[in-house]
Amino acid sequence: MFTAEVDRTFDIDIDTMWTLWTEAEHLGAWHRPSAAFGPTYATVDLRPGGSYRMEMLDPAGELHATSGTYVELDRPHRLSFTWRWDGSDHDTLVDVRLSEDGGRTRVAITHTKLVSQAEADRHAEGWIGCMSTLAATYSTA
């Protein structure tokens, strides 16, 4: 199995960052690999065993949807959830760790159980895009 890892620090406090990851309204505002994608529709049942779903349209109008189950929640430091693209029969696992850094928040994403290096590279690219969209959407500048 293969892993994608992405790490970025934001000028956002840790409690706000937790909210951006765990409330559907906020998750839908930033969770897409680039600004060329339309807004994401998100649903969240934030509890261990609860589910989430995200649907986004790419620039060509094609729907990309993923869903999963929350495995672990440790507010405001960690959330872990399964990840499955619609049409796939393979679950992967996403672990998001948030840590304080002088009023800023470091976000470390580890996406595991990917089936190839190419898939890991695509997911890393997608997560980097999501982090850029998050920064652009919630910029404090």
Per residue in 35-74, pLDDT (tens digit) is 899 889 999 999 999 999 999 999 999 999 999 999 999 9
pLDDT category of residue 140 using cuts at 50, 70 and 90: low
* Across 81-98, average pLDDT: 97
Q: pTM here? A: 0.95
Residues with Cβ within 8 Å of 129's Cβ and at least 6 positions away in sequence, in order, are: 32, 33, 34
Q: What pLDDT shows up at residue 33?
A: 93
**pLDDT score recorded for residue 117:** 98
